[in-house]
């Protein structure tokens, strides 16, 4: 009944926007602080709020007043501590690097660009990439085929879990693998015999990746050595689980793609 009345008052477009804004705001208040940068989950409200504001300014009558009032209320709510602020938006866009937050769209885009650098160096029209951060590729590149490793966009993993991950990896045989932290632990990829025998670490655009051995051989002439002791601070490095595997390789130097 309330939804029907709201729809008649605002119209279908505005009522959807107001409903989404209210629902998203309540949801974020309930879940508390977001993982990653502050305001991460609230960002989807911004374009909807902008559309509502445009409607309100376009024709300020009784129907649009609801949109304007809702927008004003939302701005007040989002200006509260631990919610979306201008600084948080700048962090998300990569414009503010004063903190140590790395879970941002701009940061994931850099990883996607690293995949693209491998594809270009190999002279391929497409490249198969296994990653838990599937958004990184979507933010930068059109010529990558994504192999999900985090149950986000793969029905097989979502239904069966990581029990058969080793066979899943062997069957998909991606050209490049990006793994780190909790995703490496839950998938147990570092204990996968196929992974151990068929993938070599490589440094690309300050990003730590694993390249299938036949691709690595094709890239060897485009590489220069980088000392093992200088790679720990790269993207996808630093967690103790990751470092244990890297150290087990016993390498004194790794390949850096030019």
- pLDDT at residue 166 is higher than 70: yes
**Does residue 64 sit within a domain?**
yes
Entry pTM: 0.72
Mean pLDDT of 208-215: 97
**Does residue 150 sit within a domain?**
yes
**Does residue 67 sit within a domain?**
yes
**Does residue 98 sit within a domain?**
no
Say which residues have a Cβ less than 8 Å from residue 223's Cβ, sequence separation at least 6: 202, 255, 256, 257, 258
**Does residue 97 sit within a domain?**
no
- pLDDT at residue 252 is higher than 80: yes
Instruction: Give residue 247's Cα distance to chain centre.
Output: 27
Mean pLDDT of 89-117: 69
Domain boundary among 64, 92, 120: 92
Mean pLDDT of 11-25: 80
- Cβ atoms of 83 and 107 within 8 Å: the answer is no
**Does residue 208 sit within a domain?**
yes
Same domain, 207 and 115: yes
CA dist 169 and 11 (Å) reads: 50
In Å, how far are 107, 197, 216, 240 from 212, measured between CA atoms?
24, 9, 6, 23
Q: What is the pLDDT of residue 46?
A: 75
**Does residue 30 sit within a domain?**
yes
Same domain, 125 and 214: yes
Q: What is the pLDDT of residue 144?
A: 92
Same domain, 85 and 118: no
Mean pLDDT of 123-144: 88
* Residue bearing the bigger pLDDT, 231 or 107: 231
Q: Nearest-CA neighbor of 129 among 147, 111, 106, 103?
A: 147
Mean pLDDT of 82-111: 59
- pLDDT at residue 179 is higher than 70: yes
- pLDDT at residue 7 is higher than 50: no
User: What are the φ/ψ torsions at residue 205 (nearest 5 degrees)?
Assistant: 50, 45
Same domain, 87 and 112: no
Mean pLDDT of 111-118: 93
Same domain, 239 and 113: yes
Q: How many domains does the chain have?
A: 2
Same domain, 111 and 196: yes
- The mean pLDDT of the chain is 80
Domain that holds residue 50: 2-92
- Cβ atoms of 84 and 43 within 8 Å: the answer is yes
Domain boundary among 65, 92, 119: 92
């Amino acid at each position: 009944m309330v939804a029907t009345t709201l729809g008649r008052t605002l119209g279908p477009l505005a009522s959807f926007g107001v409903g989404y804004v209210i629902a998203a705001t309540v949801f974020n208040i309930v879940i508390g602080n977001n993982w990653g940068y502050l305001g991460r989950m609230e960002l989807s409200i911004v374009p909807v709020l902008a559309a509502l504001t445009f409607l309100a300014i376009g024709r300020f009558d009784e129907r649009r007043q609801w949109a304007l009032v809702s927008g004003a209320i939302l701005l007040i709510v989002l200006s509260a501590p631990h919610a979306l602020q201008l600084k948080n938006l700048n962090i998300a866009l990569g414009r503010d690097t004063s903190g140590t937050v790395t879970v941002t769209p701009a940061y994931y885009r850099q990883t996607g660009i690293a995949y693209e650098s491998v594809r270009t160096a190999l002279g391929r029209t497409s490249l198969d990439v296994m990653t838990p951060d599937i958004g990184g590729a979507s933010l930068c590149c059109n010529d990558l085929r994504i192999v999900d490793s985090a149950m986000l966009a793969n029905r097989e993993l979502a239904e069966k879990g990581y029990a058969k991950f080793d066979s899943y990896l062997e069957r998909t045989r991606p050209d490049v693998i990006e793994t780190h932290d909790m995703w490496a632990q839950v998938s147990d990829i570092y204990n996968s015999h196929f992974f151990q025998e068929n993938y070599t670490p490589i440094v690309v655009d300050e990003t730590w990746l694993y390249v299938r051995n036949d691709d690595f051989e094709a890239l060897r002439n485009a590489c220069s050595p980088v000392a093992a002791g200088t790679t720990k601070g790269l993207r996808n490095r630093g967690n103790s689980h990751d470092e244990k595997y890297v150290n087990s390789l016993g390498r004194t130097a790794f390949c850096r793609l030019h």
